[in-house]
Structure 1
């Protein structure tokens, strides 16, 4: 077993902890993870492999979806029916019942290319599937019909519904675009190109480093629904605030030395987990940097006063320059995982929060997280 340790910064010393390894669920790389509100966690991997896990880290069920050459690239539990698990398998979505894991209850196929991300609205009635063609298919699960087809110019890597706003969602892709959508409209309400979003120095640096453009890999929406984070290939994490029919860049910081493959806001907080191609998992507390007046993530956020920022508009897009103070944000916790991170999720085990990490191996690493 590889040695993987945890060390803390800013928040004092962390307990000496090694990763607990969950093994026996996969024979190849684990590509994605999901943790339901009840019952087991789930993992999907290469060769169509899917596994369920008990809280003790022992496989509670295994299944190989056919055809085996299609990887299981994304998973999502239903928020209203926690026994329902949706698994993206190639260009199809399999509906599974985790109470008795066997062949899919149903197979849905609305996408034309391999699916990278699944998202469910709060009510569990709408499913969004983002794929390699750049399409996001939004499906009404009751009627099993596509209610909206959204589009990126390149691979759409991530999509997420905004909590308590079932008609609103955000998406990002390898076209470096981050988009805000309302399902009543076919066109995005607001679009930001990450290559144009930043200071003049950032844009000059991006132009001179074409080998490392800010391809957008992952996004996550905080519980309040108005704040979301995006991780990109340039190693930066960008935090945005939705204001009406648009969003503005609230915060930007260098999160990893290589691409940021995963971002995840923890429930009911402004703690953000990020995973990177540099083999690190970082925990950030951005609550002080996105508005000191905010007391609860469930309430509407107010714009931080006195922030040193300049705003300019170009071609209908927002370009906001963050203050120097934002650039000094440091992680609350650093986990030296040691391998490229494919997926992260957060769950509670025996009353304590844990982060589950999937990488290039066939096992899952589980690390403790500090209490808020």
Structure 2
């Protein structure tokens, strides 16, 4: 489910694709060819009328203003596609699939220019705003990667499980029972900050600096896996959806950039880590100030969240939630 300029697109099982207008009314419906479910939809940033939708291992290019037979169909992935991303000039499309492959399609010549890889299912990809060659990805291999499209290898990689074990010491054994499989990525409008939601219920915020990124914030966002994260256009307001049936709104601005910039706080954090390692137990409050992060809004959706979006419908900001049912739920969103 995605939205742009008053239009919202959603996909369902059996290749069903629908587009909704700013009044929340159905503007078009189409059954895409093949037997695949529509797992991902994305509008072109350069031309909002152009819509890309994945169905099975295929991607179709459509005109969102008048849904009809696809203008073009890409069949370059070998497994089901989980996520699509288009860069701002609409020169490249990234399609991430169950085999861990990310096919980069040159939209000028409509051919694959490069294949990037995770070692397990690649669940999410996102281009960084104003940086058309810079791509972020994450997957069920617990890896978060930063890519330059001109290179076949990632510029920087973080393993979420390794990070957890480093911070928590020996008591991180519990992570083996609830590993931080990475489900979703979203990049803030600044292009340098992004969030990642994982199976362990944590939300992690990273900052990109040059050719690498570092974790700036991590907090327990949900009691079950975090299936979706979405940065709102306002700076550092983040929506998260979880397998616990909750949708939460967070203001992470207080944590972004603070931990790295304060030597005193960094020293205090290192001392706390050393102390807890000596004691052989994990003191979460001592290790992190992230317990201060509390949701600004809680929506008790009640069902596992498959996808999140936000839109202005009938003049008001709304949160759109897709789940296992055939309905899209709409909730009011306060000004961020």
TM-score normalised according to structure 1 size: 0.82
1:42-81 alignment runs, 5 A limit: 42-67=9-34, 69-81=35-47
Taking the aligned partners of 1:200 and 1:245, their CA distance within structure 2 comes to 22
Is contact 1:42-1:50 (8 Å) kept?
yes
Taking the aligned partners of 1:162 and 1:151, their CA distance within structure 2 comes to 18
Structure 1 window deviating more from structure 2 (204-213 vs 85-94): it is: 204-213
Secondary structure at 1:195 match in 2? helix
Secondary structure at 1:95 match in 2? strand
Taking the aligned partners of 1:326 and 1:143, their CA distance within structure 2 comes to 47
The corresponding residue for 2:301 is 337
Equivalent of 2:311, from 331, 336, 347? 347
The corresponding residue for 1:241 is 207
With a CA cutoff of 8 Å and minimum separation of 6, indicate the structure with the bigger relative contact order: 1
The corresponding residue for 1:283 is 249
The corresponding residue for 2:159 is 193
Taking the aligned partners of 1:54 and 1:100, their CA distance within structure 2 comes to 12
Decide whether aligned partners of structure 1 residues 264 and 50 sit closer, same or farther in structure 2, where only a CA change above 3 A counts. Answer: same
- 1:280-334 Cα distance to aligned partner (Å, 9 max, x none): 0000000111136xxxxxxxxx94324334499xxxxxxxx99522232110100
Equivalent of 1:214, from 165, 174, 180? 180
The corresponding residue for 1:28 is none
Is contact 1:175-1:215 (8 Å) kept?
yes
Is contact 1:259-1:278 (8 Å) kept?
yes
Is contact 1:133-1:155 (8 Å) kept?
yes
Taking the aligned partners of 2:171 and 2:125, their CA distance within structure 1 comes to 28
User: Structure 2 unaligned runs (5+)?
Assistant: 274-283
1:304 matched to 2:284? no
RMSD, matched Cα = 2.0
Decide whether aligned partners of structure 1 residues 244 and 323 sit closer, same or farther in structure 2, where only a CA change above 3 A counts. Answer: farther
User: Structure 1 unaligned runs (5+)?
Assistant: 1-32, 293-301, 313-320
1:257-296 alignment runs, 5 A limit: 257-291=223-257
Is contact 1:228-1:240 (8 Å) kept?
yes
Secondary structure at 1:82 match in 2? coil
Is contact 1:348-1:354 (8 Å) kept?
yes
Is contact 2:164-2:172 (8 Å) kept?
no
Secondary structure at 2:173 match in 1? helix
Secondary structure at 1:70 match in 2? coil
1:38-187 alignment runs, 5 A limit: 38-67=5-34, 69-187=35-153
Is contact 2:82-2:124 (8 Å) kept?
yes
Instruction: Report deviation, 1:344.
Output: 0.2
TM-score normalised according to structure 2 size: 0.91
Is contact 2:102-2:117 (8 Å) kept?
yes
Taking the aligned partners of 1:115 and 1:287, their CA distance within structure 2 comes to 33
Taking the aligned partners of 1:357 and 1:246, their CA distance within structure 2 comes to 32
1:328 matched to 2:295? no
Taking the aligned partners of 2:330 and 2:16, their CA distance within structure 1 comes to 20
Would you say how many aligned residue pairs link Structure 1 and Structure 2? 321
1:358 matched to 2:322? yes
The corresponding residue for 2:277 is none
Instruction: Report deviation, 1:57.
Output: 2.1
- 1:175-214 Cα distance to aligned partner (Å, 9 max, x none): 0000011112111111111001136563545423433111
